[in-house]
Amino acid sequence: MNKPVTIKDIARKFRCSPSTVSRALNNHPSINEDTRRNLQEYAQKVGYQRNQVSLNLLNTKTASIGVIVPTINNYYESAIIEGIDAVLHPLGYTLNICVTNERYLLESEYVTKLLSNRVEGIFLSVSQETYDSGHYEHLENVGKRNLPLIFIDRDYEGFSAGSVTIDDYHGAFAAVEHLISTGRKRIAHLKGPNGMAVTEQRFRGYTECLTKHGLPVEERLIINTNFKVESALEPTAQLLELDHRPDAIFGVNDQVAIGAMKVIREKGWRVPEDIAVVGFDNSPISAYISPSLTSVGRPGRQIGEEAARIFLNYLDATTKKDVPVHIVLPSELIVRDSSRGI
């Protein structure tokens, strides 16, 4: 680990001033052609890399923005990041990705770190713990700085921040309505962890759709999972042992739906003939498993892009107190084999 070569080092070597070196390397016109060439060649030779840290300090800006997400280990989240990057990278911004693993402490820590690293904006997909606890003090300083803050996935009213969310409610509603339209009457729901926005909105879509169609909302048909495939196994087994077993299962996401399908078949039932299954996320494999999985798609990439645009609008905003922008993107039901009509 050698010390990086600095402009001063080069200046000393050439017995000239740092200003000259700086100008030479930046192709400033008022530098003699020869000196410019010599300096540039030497800089190249010794592997000079301008110290961006010092520039960030000088300009009091960093051209970097923070992205805090609960996890990157799934299609949806990484699509969001891709979307943000697609818009902001061409403008010279660097993404600072932070993964909280759904932990409040990490989220809080990352916010502080990003703040003190002087990012120019923060994209935040609130962790489960944060959402559960309702603690938003870690965002106070973001507010004080009036730094562009854009909520992704989960909105929070306490701040004058932008947000891009998904219409989980109508997605769930459509999924359940589809099941009803194919003749299913006892539709179970493998719910996510209580209290989370995604969970509750999908749940509301589920219940309200049932109600609209005159079907009862049975508590026994609603069981919690934690989004992971394993967490669907036991609940599904439970559902199948009911006196009056469900004829359809709506999973809070694809993982859960896949877990449900596995158990259904292990117990000797058929999908979709005996029990239809619908998931949420339209993850890439959902089309390729067997039977292919009906699912509600979320436009992850588009979320990222919209969020990035909101950020850019913030920067342009001349009037300080613009009304924060809230965008709700539609989700889309994609019907496949796991829920074909009986």
Partner DNA sequence: CAAAAAATTTCAAACGTTTGCGAACCACTT
Partner DNA sequence: AAGTGGTTCGCAAACGTTTGAAATTTTTTG
CB nearer to its own copies: pick between 26 and 51: 51
* Minimum distance, C-beta of residue 40 to DNA, in the bound complex (Å): 12
Site for its own copies in 3-42 (CB under 8 A): 3-4
Q: Is residue 242 involved in binding DNA (CB under 7 A)? A: no
Cis peptide before 18 (omega within 30 of 0): no
Q: Is residue 56 involved in binding its own copies (CB under 8 A)? A: yes
* Minimum distance, C-beta of residue 142 to its own copies, in the bound complex (Å): 9
- β-partners of residue 276 are 248
Tell me 147's DSSP state. Answer: -
- Give the residue among 191, 194, 242, 188 at the shortest CA–CA distance from 218: 188
27 binds, among DNA, its own copies, none (CB under 5 to 8 A by kind): none
String of DSSP letters for 226-253: -SSGGGGHHHHHHHHTSSS--SEEEESS
| β pairing state of 294-297 and 326-329 | unpaired
String of DSSP letters for 186-198: -EEEEE-STT-HH
* Minimum distance, C-beta of residue 307 to its own copies, in the bound complex (Å): 17
Site for DNA in 38-67 (CB under 7 A): 48, 50-51, 54-55, 57-58, 60
Pick the binder of its own copies from 23, 35, 40, 79 (CB under 8 A).
79
- Reading the block at residue 131, the tokens are 């959402």
Site for its own copies in 217-256 (CB under 8 A): 228-229, 255
d(CA 225, CA 258): 13
d(CA 238, CA 259): 13
Q: Is residue 51 involved in binding its own copies (CB under 8 A)? A: yes
Contact in structure between 341 and 183 (CB atoms under 8 Å) = yes
d(CA 243, CA 259): 22
Pick the binder of DNA from 1, 2, 27, 31 (CB under 7 A).
31
Contacting residues toward its own copies, per CB under 8 A:
1-4, 46-47, 49-54, 56-57, 60, 62, 71-73, 75, 78-79, 81-82, 85, 94-97, 99, 112-113, 115-118, 120, 140-141, 144-148, 228-229, 255, 258-259, 261-262, 265, 284-285, 287-290, 292, 314-315
